[in-house]
Amino acid sequence: MAELNKIGVVGAGVMGRNIALFFAQTGHQVQLFDVHQDAVTSALDAVGQTLTRAVDKGRVSADDAAATKARLNAASKLADLADCDLVIEAIVERLDVKQTLFAQLEEVCGSEALLATNTSSLSVADIFANLTHKDRALGLHFFNPAHIMKLVEVITAPPVSQIRCDDLVIYLNQIGKTAIKVKDSPGFIVNRCARPFYGEALAILEEGDFSAHQIDAAMRAQGFRMGPFELIDLVGADINLAASETMAEAFDHHPRYYVFNQLKQQVEQGNLGGKSGKGFVTDEADATLAESEQQQIAERILATLINEAASAVDDQVATPQDIDLAMQLGLNFPKGPFAFFAEIGLDRVREILAQLDANAPAHLNGRYQPAAALQRGPIDA
């Protein structure tokens, strides 16, 4: 694959500007465009402040920061991206808006330019459905903050050139990212395989035997930096709800993706977490648990995480090894689902899922059915 010298980024929000910053830091000329020109100005100012703080903390030299800023340019129109080798879209998560943008980019960009969407929830194939040359279009799902987080999911959807995708994975790895090739499917790896971390925690909370603080404490005892409710409060209950509803719809409301009322109520009441001042665990509360109770909670959540990851393997989303790596890098999990699986064991995971299935309320009927991969036997990771 020829080196990518010039990068275009469309969308000057937090994600777009940080993607632009990453490529500028790695020696690329970058054109940043937004339909709102003042957004580009604000983004470049914010990048400047980020670089100044990095210099002040000794993370980069003043010369390197100045060189990075010099490689970042404001594009006043889409035509300014005409000679880019790669153009990445990071705009609003609306299918029609993205489709319109890429139709315009196909007219503007050279025939060899790669076109990429940073979507986290939409079908990559649907986004590019109307393009004439789909072989050069793919997904590049960065994680926030994009200039720091290592993981990039490289989303492939036929008829994109697999050779170009493979080359791009290699290239991104060479310039400091950990790129993982992923099949175009709902939620890709991280957003899909993370659902049980939140969802099963909400199922436990719904039963009323344990508090959100206790559930979080049980997962921290397993090495997780934050519990599920701490993460919901950090990101925002509204964001988590939107992701949960998107996944539920994508999987025809299968009970594995059930959207729990407690989460809906948090949003309805405005208790979004840190940004609203009140959330699931923003108050102080006793999280004391017996060791056996901690294990009960943790094993239940881990078993459902393993089952979802196994289902993703069944759907050929990615390999077990790549799923483990993505969950560690994308969500700072201490281990991937299959590493936990190796510790817990197939028999115990099957036993937990069977117990949960036998006691599931009507609205969760079928939630705990083991994935085909778990029914076949152990999974090598």
89 DSSP β-pair partners: 10, 117
The active-site residue, picked from 185, 191, 244, 307, is: 191
The active-site residue, picked from 89, 106, 153, 299, is: 153
Active site residue 359: no
114-117, strands of its sheet edge to edge: 72-74, 29-33, 6-10, 86-89, 114-117, 137-142, 151-156, 178-183
Token look-up 């290592």 returns 150
Active site residue 351: no
Active site residue 153: yes
Active site residue 120: yes
The active-site residue, picked from 141, 299, 308, 311, is: 141
Q: Taken in order 264, 305, 331, 248, is the CA torsion positive or negative?
A: negative
The active-site residue, picked from 18, 28, 89, 120, is: 120
Residues annotated as part of the active site: 120, 141, 153, 191
